[in-house]
Amino acid sequence: MYCFTGVTNRELCEQAIQATTDENTANYVWTYWLETAPKWAMYARQHSPFLLQVTTTNTCEAWHRKLKSGAGLSKGQLASHGIYGMILNIMDAANDVDNRAAAAKSHFRN
């Protein structure tokens, strides 16, 4: 459900509840969609342009890929180094992200 207002979100949830023939499904929609909508719905992000910029998990996935590649891991491999090595890997990945952000900032609207 992609709604820009809380009213539209509520209306769609109520339509879904009315359309169900099963009481368990109606309770599920009520509990996990209608009552929790302010935590996840698009309309809850309208107050902040920063929250509207990213609506996917691509940033999180990129960070995870960066950490795994920095550790030299491929899909399905387990890490063989200790906590210290992983901390160094996280610090290196964070520095790379900061450097890329600084470079992007310097080229923004120039």
| Residues 3-53: tens digit of each pLDDT | 667 788 888 889 999 999 999 999 999 998 888 887 777 666 666 666 666
pLDDT at residue 90, rounded to an integer: 84
Q: Please tell me the least confidently modeled range out of 53-57, 64-68, 97-101.
A: 53-57
What is the chain's percent helix, strand, coil content, to nearest 5? 70, 0, 30
- Domain definitions of the chain by residue range: 6-53, 58-107
- Predicted TM-score of the model (pTM): 0.41
Separation in Å, CA 110 to CA 98, 99, 100: 20, 18, 16
